[in-house]
Structure formats: structure tokens, C-alpha cells
Structure 1
């Protein structure tokens, strides 16, 4: 599917979110990646085979306090 050099990670690869964005709809909260993954604003994903990956945001950092 991907014609980039080097090729984007496949939809099954652990780093699939590193694929290039083909179509972005930030007003709707989703983007289509080169590998066929639909990436949602909340970090959830829909894979080309129809399976879903639940949102997986990392832990939040405590606010920085100026000294």
C-alpha cells in the first residue's frame, strides 16, 4: 500500500502510528494514515481489518512549577 521510501510501518507493526498521514480531518477528530489505519484524536485506532485499538494515552505529567 505504501510507496514511501523508506516504507511506512504496516498496520500490524507496533509503531503503526508513525506512518504518514494521507487525510486529516481535525474538525472531526480523525486521520487516515498511509498504512490504512484510522487514528482518532483520543488515540484510539481502527485497523484495516476492522479491529479496534482502545485509546492509549500515556500518563499525564504533573504541572511544572516555576522556582
Structure 2
């Protein structure tokens, strides 16, 4: 699906989110990447084969009281 040079990461690679967006709908909270991945604003993903990747935002750091 990707026409970029060098090609974007495939949908099943670990760095799939680095692919170029081909459609971006911030008002709806999603983007379609050129590798077929639907990337959601909450960092969840839907892969072309139907696999759901749960949101994976980094945890905020814990601040310890002095």
C-alpha cells in the first residue's frame, strides 16, 4: 500500500506508527496510515487484519512527597 521511499513500516512491525498518514480526522479522533493501520487519538490501533491494539499511553511519572 505504501508508495514512499524508503517504504514505511508494515502494519505488523513494531514501529508501524511511524508510517505516513494518508487521512487525518482529528475531529473524529483517528488517522489512517499508509500501511493500513487506523491510529486513534487515545493511542489505540486497529490493524488491517482486524487486530485491536489497546491504548498504550506512557504512564505519568510518580512524584514522591518530600
CA RMSD in angstroms comes to 1.3
Matched, 1:12 2:12: yes
Q: TM-score, normalized by length of structure 1?
A: 0.88
TM-score (structure 2 length as normaliser): 0.90
Give the gaps of 5 or more residues in structure 2.
none
1:11, 1:21 → 2: CA distance? Answer: 13
Question: How many corresponding residue pairs?
Answer: 63
SS in 1 for 2:17: helix
Q: Which residue of 2 aligns with 1:58?
A: 58
Runs of 4 or more above 6 Å deviation? none
Equivalent position SS for 1:14: coil
Gaps of 5+ in 1: none
Query: For 2:61 and 2:19, how far apart are their aligned partners in 1?
Result: 26
